[in-house]
Amino acid sequence: MRDKPRAHGTSRPTRGAGPVSAAGRVSVSGITDVLSVGSARLPQVSEIPTTTGAEPLRTRLATLRGPDAQPKPLDARALAALAANPGCRRRALLDGAGVDKSALAEALGSPSGFGQSQFAFIRGNAFEARVKGDGGAELLRLAHQKLGGPEPTPATSRVPELTAVGPEGRAARTELALGEAEAGAWTLLDHPMVALDVAGSSAFLEPDAVVVHPDGRWAVVEIKSFPMIDGSADAAKVGAAARQAAVYVLALERIAARIDPAPEVGHGILLVCPKDFSNLPTASLVDIRKQRAVTRRQLARLTRIEDIASALAPGTTFALDQPAEQLTHAVESVPATYAPECLAACELAFHCRDRAREQGAVTALGRAIRGELGELATVDAVLTAARGEAGDPDDPAVAALRRAAALRAEALASAPPAPRMEEAAVRTEEAAGVREAGAACR
């Protein structure tokens, strides 16, 4: 239940790491230089095209991030939030460059309380350790209970070692373990690493676990610390977990497509939560076909990071040590698409909301209202259209606004006149005198 992935290049403590050559290249099953699984092939980092014009993309992103800033890796939660608002170029670029948006929001003077509390983080890790204890026996029991199939036993359960150097090495080791999953046995991958291309940049993601069913099906496991009371959990939290798991499923589908024959990636995820008010684990199968389809479509709509970066002025940087005015100008040079839903998903939501309100943008009122207003993008444009001072009369949005304004004027004209200020003050004094008289009688 790690919502914060480990930094790239680190590895989990293991009983035995895979062989590594003297040059530092990962060797899987004696293969060096090219990370491959069967007929599938993962390119080395040096082979990935990363140029925009004359400047390498990695160098450009490092400049945007700042000379001394370490990149913050993307996780599934951030990708799900990015997919929910694919029109926001600001978030796409900041996430692609690995900018710490929490620190950036604080430097801009609009800090947010977005994120998980330390207590919840510790509690979640403790619950996950309990679920995966004893070689994953309890987790496999829950998987058998919800997915069916033969009962897992120590003789029919496998927990392959996934340790490797760097995220590329761990992703290759994960793909190798999935391809070599033994038929007729349960295979549990503890914190595998999968890769997904997002707007032309590779994102390395770390699910809580992936279970390979004896019949060859793959199932994503999400371990959360919120309770499941009487078999049901908070709908909003389950929805967030489903959107997060949909990103993992998309990455697994790309791995499955490189294996012959391609295994089935289950559209139901195994959601494991504490049962009632105890710390005992229970599970539920959550269908994520809708979330998977929406996430796939939204990620495909994202503008490539190269295109966004190339539109910026040379020397633009989001380094936190520069003056606040320059930092604000750099952030504002990247277009943002604010919506009230951003408050629950993005660290820069408060900053973008303030700017949207200053500009009178109707997006601050919600996506539904913005969609109804068509080409009217500001509050001033809406009001002038309603008063008949601007706008195309044939536009349905303009016609509806003018009709609403006419109805409002008609209702105000037929309403009784409001009391004048002097009369209202007299009535207030009389009411206060009545209350005081009543209190004296009591």
Segment 403-418, tens digit of pLDDT:
998 898 888 888 777 6
Q: 4: pLDDT confidence band, cut at 50, 70 and 90?
A: very low
Structural domains of the chain, with CATH: 46-74+86-114+304-358 (no CATH), 117-301 (3.90.320), 371-414 (no CATH)
Nearest-angstrom CA–CA distance, 338 and 166: 35
Whether residue 22 is predicted with pLDDT greater than 80 in this model: the reply is: no
Residues in the chain: 442
Segment 149-197, tens digit of pLDDT:
999 999 999 999 999 998 999 999 999 999 999 989 999 999 999 999 8
Residue 52's alpha-carbon distances to 56, 70, 88, 310, in angstroms, are 6, 21, 21, 7
CB 62 within 8 A of CB 68: no
Q: 28: pLDDT confidence band, cut at 50, 70 and 90?
A: very low
Whether residue 14 is predicted with pLDDT greater than 60 in this model: the reply is: no
Nearest-angstrom CA–CA distance, 400 and 45: 55
Give the model's pLDDT for residue 422. Answer: 60
Q: 434: pLDDT confidence band, cut at 50, 70 and 90?
A: very low
Residue 181, judged by CB atoms within 10 A of its CB (0-12, 13-18, 19+), counts as buried
Residue type, position 131, single letter: V
Segment 231-240, tens digit of pLDDT:
899 998 999 8
Q: 436: pLDDT confidence band, cut at 50, 70 and 90?
A: low
Span 218-229, average pLDDT: 94
Whether residue 336 is predicted with pLDDT greater than 50 in this model: the reply is: yes
Tokens of 132: 């995966």
Give the model's pLDDT for residue 6. Answer: 43
Segment 108-159, tens digit of pLDDT:
998 876 666 778 788 888 999 999 999 899 999 999 999 999 999 999 999 9
Which residue, among 152, 267, 163, has the nearest Cα to 219 in the 3D structure? 267
pTM for the structure as a whole: 0.69
Residue 173's alpha-carbon distances to 41, 44, 48, 245, 343, in angstroms, are 12, 14, 19, 21, 37
Q: Find tokens 């994953």 and name the residue.
A: 136
Neighbour count for residue 435 (Cβ, 10 Å): 10
Tokens of 184: 């007729």
Residue 44's alpha-carbon distances to 34, 71, 112, 166, in angstroms, are 7, 19, 38, 12
Segment 304-332, tens digit of pLDDT:
888 898 899 988 999 998 999 999 999 99
Which residue, among 305, 296, 294, has the nearest Cα to 98 in the 3D structure? 305
CB 27 within 8 A of CB 164: no
Mean pLDDT of the chain: 82
Residue 388's alpha-carbon distances to 162, 377, 383, 399, 402, in angstroms, are 67, 17, 9, 9, 7
Span 369-396, average pLDDT: 86
Give the model's pLDDT for residue 275. Answer: 93
- Half-sphere CA count of 11, side-chain side, radius 13 A: 18
Segment 256-303, tens digit of pLDDT:
999 989 999 999 999 999 999 888 999 999 999 999 999 998 888 777
Percent share of the chain, pLDDT over 70: 81
Which of the residue ranges 226-235, 295-304, 427-436 would you say has the lowest mean pLDDT? 427-436
Nearest-angstrom CA–CA distance, 69 and 98: 9
